[in-house]
Homo-oligomer: A and B are copies of this chain.
Amino acid sequence: MAAKKLNLDNFLPYRLSIASNALSERIAAEYQNRFGLKIPEWRLMAVLGEGKPKTQRELVEATRMDKVTVNRAAKALAERQLIARQAHEVDGRSHHLELTETGWSLYDAIVPAALASETQLESNITAAERATMMAILAKLTAAAEDYA
């Protein structure tokens, strides 16, 4: 018999993974059904919704997603005419991506839905808890990445 045991339910990375998965699935289904967007696509739109055109490289940084993920999401959005690729003035390899008219109207439709959805999800926790949570998540992320 083992000297020491371990309870999976009390294991933080496990619980974090379960929670993240549950939320992701729920949100992914919602965005897919209502707007036809996958999560990476939605994330690009969220960043481009800040107003400034960005290159894929910049989007990778902003969304923390893989460059391939960003590329494919951008491709899908461009095909649906939700974003436009403007040639880069100085760098011939790169493009500036920005929301089109259609993109903006979809964005305007999504934002309230996203906020409402988040409000509902967080209806069980207090503002203080939320703040604590965000701080801890930042610490854990940093710790995991620093480890290297």
Please name the residue on chain B nearest to A114 by beta carbon: B6
How many copies of the chain does the oligomer comprise? 2
Q: Are B18 and A112 in contact (CB under 8 A)?
A: no
Known contacts A118-B12, A147-B26; A49 and B139 CB within 8 A of each other = no
Known contacts A16-B20, A46-B8, A145-B22; A125 and B139 CB within 8 A of each other = yes
The answer to whether the Cβ of A90 comes within 8 Å of any Cβ in the partner chain is no
Q: Are A137 and B19 in contact (CB under 8 A)?
A: yes
Query: Which B residues are in CB contact (< 8 Å) with A68?
Result: none
| Cα distance, A8 to B144, chains bound together (Å) | 20
Known contacts A2-B49, A47-B8, A108-B3; A144 and B121 CB within 8 A of each other = yes
Cβ proximity bits A108-134 to B, threshold 8 Å, 1 near / 0 not:
100110110010111111000110111
A-B contacts, 30 of them at CB < 8 A, read A2-B107, A2-B111, A3-B108, A3-B111, A4-B112, A6-B46, A6-B114, A8-B46, A11-B114, A12-B122, A12-B130, A12-B134, A13-B20, A13-B24, A15-B134, A16-B23, A17-B20, A17-B23, A18-B141, A19-B137, A19-B138, A23-B140, A25-B144, A26-B144, A26-B145, A121-B140, A121-B144, A132-B132, A132-B133, A132-B136
